[in-house]
Amino acid sequence: MPTGLEGIDSLTLSRFVLQMQQMSAEATGDLTILMNALQISCKVVETCVRRAGIAKLYGLAGSGNVQGEDQKKLDIIANDAFKENLEDCGRVSVMVSEEDDEAIVCSKATTHKYAIAFDPLDGSSNIDANVSIGTIFAIYRLDDSSVSKTPAEGAKAIMQTGRNIVVAGYAMYGSATNLVLSFGEGVHGFTLDPSIGEFVLTHPGIQIPKTGKIYSVNEGNAANWDKATTKYVENSKYPEVGKAKSLRYIGSMVADVHRTLLYGGIFMYPADAKSPTGKLRLLYEAAPMAYLMEAAGGKATTGEIDILDIVPDSIHQRVPVYMGSSEDIDAIVSLYQSQ
C-alpha cells in the first residue's frame, strides 16, 4: 500500500549527524545528543513562528534584553525553548544567548565538553511582517578538566576564537524551514519536510560562487560609513568594467547570509560613525556565519582581520562584518589596505 513517502530522499539530519559522529574514533555520542536537542528546539520554534499570527504571538512582550532592545514575544519563547532543551539534554556545560545578559552555567550537565552560543530568533524586527527570521548557533569545545561554576567562569570558557568551533549553523524560518550546518568540512543544507517532521538533506556540499552579482547592506547608514565601505558600494553600482551589482537587503542576517551562500556576492554590516564596532555580535552571529562561509569556500572579515581569528573580549561583543564570495571579500580587504 502506498505510504505517500515514495521517492523521498531519506538522508535525515538525525542520520547525517550519527554518520558524522561514527566517523570520529573518539565519538561518545554526546555531540549527537546535543545536536538532537538543537534540532528539536528548531522544530519547536518553527511551529511557534508558523502559528504566531493565529496564536497572537506577534508584538512586544514588554521587557528589554541586555542590548536595551525590546523583546518580542517570539524572542522569549524561542530563547526558553533553546535553553530548556539544551540544558535538559545534559551535554551542554555553558550557554550564551543573545537574550541573556550573563553566560548560563548548566547545572544538569553530565559532561563538560561543550558550550553553545546562540541567537534564538535573529532578525526579530521582521517578525510582525512575516519576513524570514532564524536561529544562529555555534558549538565550542571546552577543556572538560576545568568545570565552570559561575557565569563569569562560563563566559571565560566560551570566549574562544571561531577557529575552535566544532559545529556551526542556522535555521531559517522562511517559506520553508531550512537548517544549514557545518562540522568543519563542507556545508550541508536540510529542509524540514512537514509531512514527516524531519529535516531532509536538500543542499549537500554547498559551495559559494567565487564572485557574485549581489551586494547586501543597509544603505540607510551610508552617511556614516568609512571610506573603504563607501568606495566598495560605489564600485558595485558604477563599475569601471562589467555590470553593476544588484542590491538585495532583507534585514535578517540568516536570510541575507543564506542567499549569499547560495547565489554568491557580499553581505556587510560595517562599523560606522554611529556604531564604531558595528551591530552584529561575534559569538552567536558573526563567528558561526563566518565558519559556514569559510567551509563553503568563501571568506569573512572585519576588513582588517578574519572574523574567525578574533579573540573575544566579552560575550556580547560586536564586530564589523563583511562576508561572502572570496573575490568580493578580497576587494573590500584591498580597499581597507589602501585607505
Q: How many residues does the chain have?
A: 339
Nearer to ligand AHM, 125 or 150 (CB): 125
Least distance from ligand AHM to the Cβ atom of residue 75, Å: 8
Beta bridge partners of 199: 192
Least distance from ligand AHM to the Cβ atom of residue 133, Å: 8
Alpha helices in 68-187 (DSSP H): 73-88, 151-158
Q: Quick one: cell of 179?
A: 537548517
Least distance from ligand AHM to the Cβ atom of residue 325, Å: 18
Q: Establish if 186 lies at the interface with ligand AHM (CB under 6 A).
A: no
Amino acid, res. 166: V
Binding track over 79-98 against ligand AHM, x by CB under 6 A: -------------------x
How distant, in Å, are the alpha carbons of 129, 141, 144, 261 from that of 290?
Answer: 27, 17, 26, 11
Binding track over 109-148 against ligand AHM, x by CB under 6 A: ----------x--xxxx-----------------------
With beta carbons less than 8 A apart as the criterion, state whether 283 and 315 touch: yes
With beta carbons less than 8 A apart as the criterion, state whether 138 and 284 touch: yes
3-state secondary structure of 292: helix
Rounded distance between C-alpha atoms, residue 118 and residue 283, angstroms? 8
3-state secondary structure of 280: coil
Least distance from ligand AHM to the Cβ atom of residue 201, Å: 26
Rounded distance between C-alpha atoms, residue 126 and residue 124, angstroms? 5
Q: Establish if 119 lies at the interface with Mg ion (CB under 5 A).
A: yes
With contacts defined by CB under 6 A, name the span among 102-110, 161-169, 189-197, 248-256 that binds ligand AHM: 248-256
Nearer to ligand AHM, 46 or 119 (CB): 119
Residue 245: Cβ-neighbour burial (10 angstroms; 0-12, 13-18, 19+): buried
Name which position in 213, 251, 262, 326 contacts ligand AHM (CB under 6 A): 251
Name which position in 218, 224, 235, 326 contacts ligand AHM (CB under 6 A): 218
Q: Establish if 75 lies at the interface with Mg ion (CB under 5 A).
A: no
With contacts defined by CB under 5 A, name the span among 2-10, 12-20, 116-124, 165-173 that binds Mg ion: 116-124
Q: Look at the block and give the residue holding cell 530548556.
A: 84
Beta bridge partners of 263: none
Amino acid, res. 206: I
Beta bridge partners of 324: 266, 299
Q: Establish if 122 lies at the interface with Mg ion (CB under 5 A).
A: yes
Nearer to ligand AHM, 218 or 326 (CB): 218
Q: Establish if 69 lies at the interface with ligand AHM (CB under 6 A).
A: yes
With beta carbons less than 8 A apart as the criterion, state whether 324 and 213 touch: no
Least distance from ligand AHM to the Cβ atom of residue 98, Å: 6
Nearer to Mg ion, 123 or 298 (CB): 123
Name which position in 269, 291, 322, 336 contacts ligand AHM (CB under 6 A): 269
Rounded distance between C-alpha atoms, residue 148 and residue 136, angstroms? 24
Rounded distance between C-alpha atoms, residue 186 and residue 285, angstroms? 19
Least distance from ligand AHM to the Cβ atom of residue 152, Å: 24
Of these partners, Mg ion, ligand AHM, none, which one is at the site of residue 77 (CB under 5 to 8 Å by kind)? none
Binding site for ligand AHM (CB under 6 A): 69, 98, 119, 122-125, 218, 251-253, 256, 269, 279
Binding site for Mg ion (CB under 5 A): 119, 122
